[in-house]
Amino acid sequence: MAQDVFYLTADRLFDGEKMWTGKAVLVKGNKIMAIVEKSSPIPSGAKVLDFKNATLLPGLIEGHAHLFLYPYNITDWDTQVLKETDALRTIRASVHAKNTLMAGFTSVRDLGTEGAGYADVSLKKAILDKIIEGPRMLVAGRAIVSTGSYGPKGYDNDQKIMLGAEPADGNELVRVVRDQIWQGADFIKIYADYRWGLMGEDRPTFTLDELKLINEVTTSSGRVMVCHAKSKEAIRRSVLAGAVTIEHGDFLDEEIGKLMKEHQVIFMPTIAAVDKITQYRGWKKGIDPDPENVVRKKLSFKAALASGVTIGMGGDVGVFPHGDNVMEMELMAEYGMPNLDILKAATSVNARAMNWQDKLGHIKEGFLADLVVVKGNPLENISQIREVKFVMKDGVIYK
C-alpha cells in the first residue's frame, strides 16, 4: 500500500535549533522526507496542511515526568503512594499520557512510578501496541534509594511502610540494577541525596563508589544513570560517577555548573515543581515575598545559566497537571532564559538527554515524523505553546 505524503507548512518553522520562515516539511509514513522551500512546487498527490498564524515545531519532549502522580493539592503524595492501588494509578496514568500527547509532548522521560512498581513499563507497552494514545516513553520503573532516606516518612517505625522507590546499598546495588533492567527500566534513576534524618536536610545518600558501581552495571547494559541531586556534594558525586542528567539541582552554583558542563551533563531544573509545591503550601505568588526555597531555585537557575551547563526542559510534571507541561517553559522564561533556548531545551536538548538525538528533537530529513503546530509565535511569547493546533507522532495525526 502506498504511504500518504503530507506537505506541512506554517508561517514559521522551528527545526530544533533555529526559527525559519518560508519552509515546508514533507512527511512520508513515519519519517520526515525533506524540508523544502515554500516557493518550490508541491509534490503531486501530497496532502497539504497549511497552518495560518502558526508555528511548526518538532514534537516536544518532556524531560522529567511522573505519569503515575497527579497534583498534590488534590491528593497528597503519601496518600497516592500508600492508599491508591496500582490498578487505579495505572488507569489515571493512561489519561495523563493522552493529555500529555494532546499538549504537543510526543515524548516523555518518566522518572519513576513512586510506588506503582513497573506499571510504567506496561503503560509504555500499551502505547507502543496502540491500545491507548500517549507519548513515546523512556521509563525508570521503581528507581533506587539508599536505606533510610526515602518516603513516605513520619509513620511509626514499628510498621513497615511501602516506599516510593526501591532501597538498596553496597554490593546489593548490582543485583537491584540488573533486576530493574530485567523488569523493563530504560535507564536507572538514583536518588543521590534526599531529605534525610529528623531535620530533613538534603544530604548525600550514596557514596561515590556506590554511584560508580551503579553506573558501571547500568552502562555495561547500554543504559544510562540519571540522578536526583539537590546538594552540591550529591551533584558532584553523581557527575564524577557518570550521570547523564542531574535532576533538580536546587543548591547548584556556578562552580558545580561548570563541572557539569565539563562532563557534558544535562541539567533538568524542575522549577515548576518547586513553584507549585510552595503554592500548595500557602505561598501567594506575586503577593507574598518569595520563600527561601523559591529564592534558592532562582539563584541556582541563574548560576546554571552563567556556568554554561546545558539545560534541558523537565518540570517534574505530575506535581502539577499532565498536559500543563508548558508551565516549566514559562517559568524558565520568567527566570531569565531566552525563548529560543527554551524551545531548544524542549526539543533538541531533551532528545540528547534521551539519547534520541539521531532521530528526534529536530525537523530534519530522515528523522521520525513527530511534529506539532502551535498558534502564533512562541519566540515572542513562550505561552503560545499552550495553543496546540496539530499533533503528529510517528507519522500519525492525533490532533
**Which residues of the chain form contacts with Zn ion (CB under 5 A)?**
111, 316
- For the chain, the residue count is 399
CA distance linking residue 248 with residue 316, whole number of Å: 9
Return the number of the residue (111 or 385) whose C-beta is nearest Zn ion.
Answer: 111
Q: How far is the CB of 180 from Zn ion (least distance, A)?
A: 17
Return the number of the residue (168 or 268) whose C-beta is nearest Zn ion.
Answer: 268
Q: How far is the CB of 197 from Zn ion (least distance, A)?
A: 21
Give the largest CA-CA distance in the chain.
74
88-92 long-range contacts (CB < 8 A, ≥24 apart) are: 89/113, 89/116, 89/119, 90/116, 90/119, 90/122, 90/123, 92/68
User: Ramachandran region of residue 136, left (φ > 0), alpha (ψ -120 to 50) or beta?
Assistant: beta
Return the number of the residue (121 or 277) whose C-beta is nearest Zn ion.
Answer: 277
Return the number of the residue (108 or 392) whose C-beta is nearest Zn ion.
Answer: 108
Q: How far is the CB of 92 from Zn ion (least distance, A)?
A: 17
Return the number of the residue (151 or 378) whose C-beta is nearest Zn ion.
Answer: 151
Q: How far is the CB of 380 from Zn ion (least distance, A)?
A: 31
Q: How far is the CB of 319 from Zn ion (least distance, A)?
A: 8
Q: Where are the alpha helices (DSSP H) in the chain?
A: 77-83, 86-102, 119-128, 172-183, 208-220, 232-241, 254-262, 271-280, 292-307, 326-334, 339-344, 350-353
Return the number of the residue (191 or 196) whose C-beta is nearest Zn ion.
Answer: 191
CA distance linking residue 219 with residue 216, whole number of Å: 5
Return the number of the residue (57 or 246) whose C-beta is nearest Zn ion.
Answer: 246
User: What would the DSSP string read from start to end of 246-266?
Assistant: EEE-TT--HHHHHHHHHTTPE
Q: At which residue does the C-alpha cell 497516592 appear?
A: 80
- C-alpha grid cell, residue 313: 526542559
Q: Residue 145 phi/psi, 5° resolution?
A: -130, 160
Q: For residue 389, give the nearest of 61, 10, 6, 7 by alpha carbon.
A: 10
Q: How far is the CB of 111 from Zn ion (least distance, A)?
A: 5
Q: How far is the CB of 166 from Zn ion (least distance, A)?
A: 15
